[in-house]
Chains A and B, each alone.
Chain A
């Protein structure tokens, strides 16, 4: 019997975890990643919520497991087309190469919302308006400073930028930005204890284990200010600071505040390729553009095609743990499927 092969598309934590799990099930996985390295978004994050673990500590063991078990990996390979029928899948890359297998797991992840589309927040216009992604890069480089190199003494963190916002064309909740905002507020206070940090939120969505505790720690130990209300606009001041306007909805009054830096918590969006792959394969995406599982309880990683599986943030916003667990689930289902083939 020929070895059963499963192609995993996307080498973020979900794709890597799926490949490792497939190998453990005795199936031959092949991993295709667009970037020059494996790891996906985690290559850009510094410390992870809720534990403070370095992102590299999650990525490295997976990369090692992939090389130790000899999983065939294609880097710098962007998948442009997925075709095939009920018994075979063919994956085409932009460089013209193609690969065939009995099944595929799509783990192509998410895209980040482009904050400059919300012009009223002045991203790309005012140098001290940055995104949560920029702030992660600053944490990684060790230099969390304003555009002129000075330490921020006050920071406003704005939740729901490009999420839950019909004006931005994104109605869904990105789920992890609230906790990212809490984590980043704490990290700012750890770095600069005298800095005043203000989080402007619509709802605080602390869904995960340890998240509510982190929120309380931000309040009690770090004295982060949480203000319920959405910033309507940011404007630059003469001295390169940022004036933010919001309603303090708990006070029922408009509120204004000038800060040294504003951080926009950008949301997660479905990559445009989701719709393309879905139409090529005849599988479904949800109204938010993420892949839709065959069933929201028992079939989250299954699609209407028996040899196509989905995992990680490709199916919707998730944290690292959820993405990795969904990858194991997809790998088990994919292995069951290919082993069942004659």
Chain B
């Protein structure tokens, strides 16, 4: 249970928490009102098939990098869609661009296209 909570923090506002040396409470709830959707909007414009994601986790299950590193591609791109982009760029560097996720996706999301766009658009940590 504790580990799961820690993971969640790392996944979203982990960097913020580390920088300030305490667990920020803003890290708990996703606040759509305050979210910055600029990265999400640009990725969506470049890769429209991203809109079709149903969160099935097929990409994460098949992911070469996810098998070895603490890297969950489904959750990573979901967090971008919720406007939470801090701390994700470093995580994305685990991706080997093998393209297995594209072959897996039941909704035909061009996941490699999403990765390419994110590599360019996500803020550097």
Q: Are A255 and B32 in contact (CB under 8 A)?
A: yes
With both beta carbons as reference points, the residue of chain A lying nearest to B8 in the complex is identified as A252
Q: Are B48 and A220 in contact (CB under 8 A)?
A: yes
Q: Are B32 and A253 in contact (CB under 8 A)?
A: no
Main SS of chain B's interface residues?
Answer: helix
With both beta carbons as reference points, the residue of chain A lying nearest to B79 in the complex is identified as A251
Q: Are B51 and A254 in contact (CB under 8 A)?
A: no
Instruction: Judge whether B82 is part of the interface by a CB distance below 8 angstroms.
Output: yes
Residue of B8, B75, B82 touching A255 (CB-CB under 8 A): B82
Q: A251-B78, A251-B82 are in contact. Are A220 and B28 (CB under 8 A)?
A: no
Q: Are B32 and A216 in contact (CB under 8 A)?
A: no
User: Which residues of the partner chain B approach A258 to less than 8 Å between Cβ atoms?
Assistant: 33
With both beta carbons as reference points, the residue of chain A lying nearest to B34 in the complex is identified as A256
User: Which residues of the partner chain A approach B32 to less than 8 Å between Cβ atoms?
Assistant: 198, 255-257
Instruction: Judge whether B49 is part of the interface by a CB distance below 8 angstroms.
Output: yes
Q: Are B82 and A248 in contact (CB under 8 A)?
A: yes
Q: A250-B78, A251-B75, A253-B8 are in contact. Are A216 and B52 (CB under 8 A)?
A: yes
Q: A219-B51, A228-B55 are in contact. Are A254 and B78 (CB under 8 A)?
A: no
User: Which residues of the partner chain B approach A164 to less than 8 Å between Cβ atoms?
Assistant: none
**In the complex, which range does the number of interface residues on chain B fall in?**
20 to 34
Q: Are B48 and A253 in contact (CB under 8 A)?
A: no
Instruction: Judge whether B12 is part of the interface by a CB distance below 8 angstroms.
Output: yes
**In the complex, which range does the number of interface residues on chain A fall in?**
10 to 19
Tell me, rounded to whole Å, the shortest Cβ–Cβ distance linking B7 to chain A. Answer: 8
In the complex, what distance in Å separates the CA atom of A216 from the CA atom of B8?
Answer: 29
Instruction: Judge whether B98 is part of the interface by a CB distance below 8 angstroms.
Output: no
Q: Are A220 and B51 in contact (CB under 8 A)?
A: yes
Q: Are A250 and B52 in contact (CB under 8 A)?
A: no
Q: CB-CB contacts of A201-238 with B at 8 A, as 1s and 0s? A: 00010000000000010011001011010000000000
Tell me, rounded to whole Å, the shortest Cβ–Cβ distance linking B91 to chain A. Answer: 15
Residue of A204, A220, A228, A256 touching B31 (CB-CB under 8 A): A256
In the complex, what distance in Å separates the CA atom of A219 from the CA atom of B53?
Answer: 9
User: Which residues of the partner chain A approach B103 to less than 8 Å between Cβ atoms?
Assistant: none
Instruction: Judge whether B44 is part of the interface by a CB distance below 8 angstroms.
Output: yes
In the complex, what distance in Å separates the CA atom of A250 from the CA atom of B55?
Answer: 7
In the complex, what distance in Å separates the CA atom of A216 from the CA atom of B54?
Answer: 10
In the complex, what distance in Å separates the CA atom of A204 from the CA atom of B79?
Answer: 21
Tell me, rounded to whole Å, the shortest Cβ–Cβ distance linking A264 to chain B. Answer: 19
User: Which residues of the partner chain B approach A248 to less than 8 Å between Cβ atoms?
Assistant: 30, 78, 82
Tell me, rounded to whole Å, the shortest Cβ–Cβ distance linking B28 to chain A. Answer: 6
Q: Are A256 and B33 in contact (CB under 8 A)?
A: yes
Instruction: Judge whether B69 is part of the interface by a CB distance below 8 angstroms.
Output: no
Tell me, rounded to whole Å, the shortest Cβ–Cβ distance linking A111 to chain B. Answer: 32
User: Which residues of the partner chain B approach A226 to less than 8 Å between Cβ atoms?
Assistant: 54
User: Which residues of the partner chain A approach B75 to less than 8 Å between Cβ atoms?
Assistant: 250-252
With both beta carbons as reference points, the residue of chain B lying nearest to A222 in the complex is identified as B51
User: Which residues of the partner chain A approach B82 to less than 8 Å between Cβ atoms?
Assistant: 248, 251, 255
Tell me, rounded to whole Å, the shortest Cβ–Cβ distance linking B68 to chain A. Answer: 22
User: Which residues of the partner chain A approach B30 to less than 8 Å between Cβ atoms?
Assistant: 248, 251, 253-256
Q: What is the interface of chain A, defined by CB distance below 8 A to chain B?
A: 198, 204, 216, 219-220, 223, 225-226, 228, 248, 250-258
Q: List 30 A-B contacts (CB under 8 A).
A: A198-B32, A216-B52, A220-B48, A220-B51, A220-B52, A223-B51, A225-B81, A226-B54, A248-B30, A248-B78, A250-B55, A250-B75, A250-B78, A251-B30, A251-B75, A251-B78, A251-B79, A252-B75, A253-B8, A253-B12, A253-B28, A253-B30, A254-B30, A255-B29, A255-B30, A256-B29, A256-B30, A256-B31, A257-B31, A257-B33
5 residue pairs, one from A and one from B, having the closest CB atoms: A257-B32, A255-B30, A250-B55, A254-B29, A219-B51
Q: What is the interface of chain B, defined by CB distance below 8 A to chain A?
A: 4, 8, 12, 28-33, 44, 48-49, 51-52, 54-55, 74-75, 78-79, 81-82, 107
Other than A254-B30, A255-B31, A257-B33, give 6 A-B pairs with Cβ distance below 8 A. Answer: A220-B49, A220-B52, A248-B78, A251-B75, A255-B32, A256-B31
